[in-house]
Chains A and B, each alone.
Chain A
Amino acid sequence: MTRALRRCLPQILTLLALVALVSIFFPQFLAISFENGRLTGPVVDIVKRGAPVALLAIGMTLVIATRGIDLSVGTVMAISGAVAAWTLAAGWGVFPAVLLAIVAGLTCGLWNGCLVAYVGIQPIVATLILMTSGRGIAQLITEGRILTFSDPAFAWIGSGTVAGVPVPALLWLVTGIAVAFIMRRTALGLLVEAIGINRSASTVAGINARVLLIAVYAASGFCAALAGIVATADIRGADANNAGLWLELDAILAVVIGGNSLLGGRFSVAASILGALIIQTVDTGILLAGFPSEYNLVIKAGLVLVILLVQSPNLSQHWHWLRMEIRRQREPKPIGSRDTR
């Protein structure tokens, strides 16, 4: 446990620093109140709004650990949302809607996984195919309209609460814990890392790399389906054109801010989720701090750059050196000795 904590320490510190920074501009940032049976406040807003990216980041972490990437998750969100809305519109009820949306997400993931594992297409190209074609598929399902529905039970997934906590926040929390638990309590995590670091050697050692690759893309599709359900339930309608638009890039960014290498290998799901929360904190914080909205993207880019620079392993050596240097200068020099360097 302590090792997992140490792994996430840079992300936790970054998040705390951001919270402090936003609090300077918006002192009520940490205020949480309990109204009408639900918690409200900027922080609650962040954990709720951050849900889609946090969910995507969970699946994306696994894919990136195998040295892959999944560009299609934003589109898969749209497809799943469209499937869910269509099912509700057809009057089949909530459970079939959720189930079919997840099946749609898993199918998309399996498609990606087969292209990567069996056909041998590079992940970025393989998932690009679905990324571009997927919105068309979603539009076919919604017949080009924004499919709205009024099912309070389904809407609860997007805007409801349990004991005051927003359901979307619980969803990423439960999914994240479940995935991290499965990865670390079984050997899946090790095997995924092994194929990400050296697929050839892993195959020789008897690891079934193909099945694992398909599994991680399917997991990514599953997470994208959950994100799609949340997004659709939140606005009570499926918008094939805009649901999940560009979120694949936020998800990748969350994984990177989480300190996971795009070259595969060692991964931490918790750190990626923290990365997603960092992104959402930046987004919400900029709004709360009252900057004109046209500055938002530039400020976000600047903050992300700083975060990545601070976490860069190349720079950490320089930090170390700087610390040593400062310590040396503070130390009282022995009398009569001169600095030889």
Chain B
Amino acid sequence: MLLTIRDLSKSFPGTKALDSVDFDLAAGEVHALLGENGAGKSTLIKCLTGAYRRDEGDIRLDGEPISPGSTAEAQSLGIGTVYQEVNLLDNLTVAKNLTFGREPRRFGLIDGRAQRAEARRMLEGYGLDIDVGRDLGSYSVAIRQIVAIARAVELSGKILILDEPTASLDAAETRMLFDVVRGLRDRGLGIVFVSHFLDQVFELTDRVTVLRNGAKIVTEKTAELDRVALIRHMLGRELEEVEAEQGADHTRSEARRTVVDFKGYGRDGLVDPFDLTVREGEVIGLAGLLGSGRTETAELMFGIRAAQRGEAKVDGEPVSLTSPREAIAAGFGFAPEERKTDGIVADLSVRENIILALQARRGWAKPVPRAEQARLAETYIKRLDIRTSDAEKAVGELSGGNQQKVVLARWLAMNPRFLILDEPTRGVDVGAHAEILRLIGEITEGGMSVLVISSELDELVAASDRIIVVRDRAHVAELSGVEITSGAIVTAIAAPDAGKVA
């Protein structure tokens, strides 16, 4: 074995993040590391890369016990990591990034020519044909990802850890990345692959290790594992629960009362004018590729960007939506895609994050009473199953899925009439995923209307009563009832005029 981990444990105040975990990695294999948010994947990786010190346990590389104390030390031992958010410098050239910290020198000065040659040599075998003299930032995320991999492999060379590398890639880019990963596997590297996309796990990996609540559940050959068993391992409960969420009936939105009505709503350079009627208790899906105008539509509706044309009516009365405050006053809520930058307030506690919007609406002079705050926090921690040691813990210390639930709780506490959810399940594990979908069903039962933006077509098909398809910053199609199938959505996204509703 290239890497063997035995009885690895790591505790944080209040939680045991890893509990005697075993993990093996052979040379020339791609090994998937799976688990819900908070299962311990990140902690395991951080113990390997030297970001955390383990409390107990044994890590051996090529049979030698190791104990990396920093990322640099892990790298020199042969362990390289590439994260979802590429940690390279966008404003430097590809060549400078690749040779960063060990630039070839001539007379004490950096030798640009040798640097570029070195960079080209490092990129050989990755199937990239790019100009290494250009800024890294001018290339797509996929290429930056591959450059990061090339750098990690060059510096370390034995083990490559890929933490959610495909989260922001499209299908073609993912294929490109997978070819690179397979190439590295054939060169004898051991690769740890962390992902939430089960399809990709089955496509790429040789073995799978599942963690749950800090403990190792199982390690198996991917080929001998079926999807149902895998999800069962990850969730620790029967799959029926998840399956039951699929297949909402799409027939309930017809004769309902109109809550919000957008007419000719748009802003130049952001989203072409669109019409959208939102009815009571309805789930509207917004489908489209990344950058097609999905998020922009949401931002326009919530007043983060002001509309230049068109009008919005709530209950038949025209409303002005030029700021989030006005949108909130009109009864809207918005859980943004970038929850770290636009969603949570990391240093504030779970309780404070949950009451934040409520407090903002009441104004500073009327604080929400402490007992009421505690009650709200308690209620939503229970209802949304937010995993936290207590309500006073800082939100930044929770895992991604739980942060998302806190943002949802913030809006549910406001009891809005129209809730916009931008990628509510992005980066969220299977369990939380199902819970969020169930929650959407639950709140719409109560009459709330929800607009869901998602890249996952199955999720949209399962949850939505109607689907709007966005392409090139314009709303190009609307599907409802039996028309809602993944096939129809794909057709609408792909074909210029197919499926257009006049």
Shortest CB distance A18–B (Å): 30
User: B325 to chain A: which residues have CB within 8 Å?
Assistant: 206, 208
A197-215 residues at the B interface, CB under 8 angstroms: 197-198, 200-208, 212
Tell me, yes or no, whether A194 is within 8 Å of chain B by CB.
yes
Shortest CB distance B295–A (Å): 13
Report yes or no: B324 in contact with A194, Cβ–Cβ below 8 A.
Answer: no
Instruction: State how many residues of chain B have any CB contact under 8 Å with chain A.
Output: 29
User: In whole angstroms, what is the CA distance A202 to B356 when docked?
Assistant: 8
Query: Which residue of B has the minimal Cβ distance to A261?
Result: B347
Tell me, yes or no, whether B69 is within 8 Å of chain A by CB.
no
Tell me, yes or no, whether B143 is within 8 Å of chain A by CB.
no
User: A197 to chain B: which residues have CB within 8 Å?
Assistant: 345-348
Tell me, yes or no, whether B12 is within 8 Å of chain A by CB.
no
Q: Mark A6-18, 1 if CB is under 8 A from B, else 0.
A: 0000000000000
Residue with the greatest number of chain B CB neighbours at <10 A, chosen from A191, A203, A204: A204
Tell me, yes or no, whether B357 is within 8 Å of chain A by CB.
yes
Shortest CB distance B407–A (Å): 9
Shortest CB distance A203–B (Å): 6
User: In whole angstroms, what is the CA distance A88 to B81 when docked?
Assistant: 70
Shortest CB distance B374–A (Å): 14
Tell me, yes or no, whether B471 is within 8 Å of chain A by CB.
no
B321-340 residues at the A interface, CB under 8 angstroms: 324-325, 328, 334, 336
Report yes or no: A198 in contact with B328, Cβ–Cβ below 8 A.
Answer: no
Tell me, yes or no, whether B365 is within 8 Å of chain A by CB.
yes
Tell me, yes or no, whether B410 is within 8 Å of chain A by CB.
yes
Tell me, yes or no, whether A193 is within 8 Å of chain B by CB.
yes
B364-405 residues at the A interface, CB under 8 angstroms: 364-368
Report yes or no: B345 in contact with A187, Cβ–Cβ below 8 A.
Answer: no
User: In whole angstroms, what is the CA distance A222 to B12 when docked?
Assistant: 44
Tell me, yes or no, whether B342 is within 8 Å of chain A by CB.
yes
User: B304 to chain A: which residues have CB within 8 Å?
Assistant: 203-204
Report yes or no: B347 in contact with A206, Cβ–Cβ below 8 A.
Answer: no
User: B334 to chain A: which residues have CB within 8 Å?
Assistant: 204
A168-224 residues at the B interface, CB under 8 angstroms: 185-188, 190-191, 193-194, 197-198, 200-208, 212
Tell me, yes or no, whether B359 is within 8 Å of chain A by CB.
yes
Report yes or no: A200 in contact with B342, Cβ–Cβ below 8 A.
Answer: yes
Would A193 and B357 be within 8 Å (CB), given that A204-B342, A206-B324 are in contact?
no
Shortest CB distance A191–B (Å): 6
Tell me, yes or no, whether B362 is within 8 Å of chain A by CB.
yes
User: In whole angstroms, what is the CA distance A201 to B410 when docked?
Assistant: 12
Report yes or no: A191 in contact with B344, Cβ–Cβ below 8 A.
Answer: no
Tell me, yes or no, whether B341 is within 8 Å of chain A by CB.
yes
Report yes or no: B328 in contact with A206, Cβ–Cβ below 8 A.
Answer: yes
Tell me, yes or no, whether B175 is within 8 Å of chain A by CB.
no
State which of A186, A188, A202, A206 has its C-beta within 8 Å of the C-beta of B345: A202
Shortest CB distance A186–B (Å): 5
User: B368 to chain A: which residues have CB within 8 Å?
Assistant: 187
Tell me, yes or no, whether B133 is within 8 Å of chain A by CB.
no
Shortest CB distance B299–A (Å): 10
Report yes or no: A186 in contact with B367, Cβ–Cβ below 8 A.
Answer: yes
Report yes or no: A205 in contact with B360, Cβ–Cβ below 8 A.
Answer: yes
Tell me, yes or no, whether A266 is within 8 Å of chain B by CB.
yes
State which of B344, B362, B410 has its C-beta within 8 Å of the C-beta of A187: B362
Query: Which residue of A has the minimal Cβ distance to B363?
Result: A187
Report yes or no: B347 in contact with A205, Cβ–Cβ below 8 A.
Answer: no
User: A74 to chain B: which residues have CB within 8 Å?
Assistant: none
Query: Which residue of A has the minimal Cβ distance to B410?
Result: A205
Shortest CB distance A180–B (Å): 15
User: In whole angstroms, what is the CA distance A186 to B370 when docked?
Assistant: 11
Report yes or no: B364 in contact with A205, Cβ–Cβ below 8 A.
Answer: no
State which of A188, A194, A201, A212 has its C-beta within 8 Å of the C-beta of B342: A201
User: In whole angstroms, what is the CA distance A188 to B348 when docked?
Assistant: 14
User: In whole angstroms, what is the CA distance A203 to B348 when docked?
Assistant: 15
User: B356 to chain A: which residues have CB within 8 Å?
Assistant: 190, 194, 202, 205, 207
Tell me, yes or no, whether B352 is within 8 Å of chain A by CB.
yes
Query: Which residue of A has the minimal Cβ distance to B359?
Result: A187
Tell me, yes or no, whether A275 is within 8 Å of chain B by CB.
no
Report yes or no: A191 in contact with B347, Cβ–Cβ below 8 A.
Answer: no
Report yes or no: B364 in contact with A198, Cβ–Cβ below 8 A.
Answer: no
Tell me, yes or no, whether B343 is within 8 Å of chain A by CB.
yes
User: A203 to chain B: which residues have CB within 8 Å?
Assistant: 304, 324
Tell me, yes or no, whether B361 is within 8 Å of chain A by CB.
yes
User: In whole angstroms, what is the CA distance A197 to B342 when docked?
Assistant: 11
Report yes or no: A205 in contact with B324, Cβ–Cβ below 8 A.
Answer: yes
User: A204 to chain B: which residues have CB within 8 Å?
Assistant: 302, 304, 324, 334, 336, 342-343
State which of A186, A190, A201 has its C-beta within 8 Å of the C-beta of B343: A201
User: In whole angstroms, what is the CA distance A265 to B396 when docked?
Assistant: 13
Would A205 and B357 be within 8 Å (CB), given that A193-B348, A198-B344 are in contact?
yes
User: In whole angstroms, what is the CA distance A200 to B244 when docked?
Assistant: 37
User: B342 to chain A: which residues have CB within 8 Å?
Assistant: 200-201, 204
User: In whole angstroms, what is the CA distance A203 to B346 when docked?
Assistant: 14
Would A198 and B341 be within 8 Å (CB), given that A187-B367, A205-B410 are in contact?
yes
User: In whole angstroms, what is the CA distance A266 to B394 when docked?
Assistant: 12
Shortest CB distance B124–A (Å): 42
State which of B343, B347, B361, B364 has its C-beta within 8 Å of the C-beta of A266: B347
User: In whole angstroms, what is the CA distance A188 to B360 when docked?
Assistant: 10
Report yes or no: A206 in contact with B348, Cβ–Cβ below 8 A.
Answer: no
Report yes or no: A198 in contact with B345, Cβ–Cβ below 8 A.
Answer: yes
State which of A185, A201, A207, A208 has its C-beta within 8 Å of the C-beta of B341: A201
Query: Which residue of A has the minimal Cβ distance to B361?
Result: A206
User: In whole angstroms, what is the CA distance A208 to B359 when docked?
Assistant: 11
User: In whole angstroms, what is the CA distance A188 to B345 when docked?
Assistant: 16
User: A206 to chain B: which residues have CB within 8 Å?
Assistant: 324-325, 328, 357, 360-361
User: B363 to chain A: which residues have CB within 8 Å?
Assistant: 187
Shortest CB distance A263–B (Å): 9
User: In whole angstroms, what is the CA distance A203 to B343 when docked?
Assistant: 10
Shortest CB distance B451–A (Å): 15
State which of B302, B352, B360 has its C-beta within 8 Å of the C-beta of A208: B360
Residue with the greatest number of chain A CB neighbours at <10 A, chosen from B344, B348, B357, B410: B348
User: In whole angstroms, what is the CA distance A187 to B373 when docked?
Assistant: 12
Report yes or no: B359 in contact with A191, Cβ–Cβ below 8 A.
Answer: yes
User: A194 to chain B: which residues have CB within 8 Å?
Assistant: 345, 348, 352, 356
User: In whole angstroms, what is the CA distance A162 to B345 when docked?
Assistant: 45
User: B302 to chain A: which residues have CB within 8 Å?
Assistant: 204
Shortest CB distance B394–A (Å): 10
Query: Which residue of A has the minimal Cβ distance to B368?
Result: A187
22 A-B contacts, Cβ less than 8 Å apart?
Answer: A186-B365, A187-B359, A187-B365, A190-B348, A191-B360, A193-B347, A198-B344, A201-B341, A201-B342, A201-B345, A204-B324, A204-B334, A204-B336, A204-B342, A204-B343, A205-B324, A205-B345, A205-B360, A206-B325, A208-B325, A208-B360, A212-B364
Which residues does A use to contact B, with CB under 8 Å? 185-188, 190-191, 193-194, 197-198, 200-208, 212, 265-266
Besides A198-B345, A205-B345, 9 more A-B contacts (Cβ < 8 Å) are: A190-B367, A194-B345, A194-B352, A197-B345, A201-B341, A202-B356, A203-B304, A206-B325, A265-B347
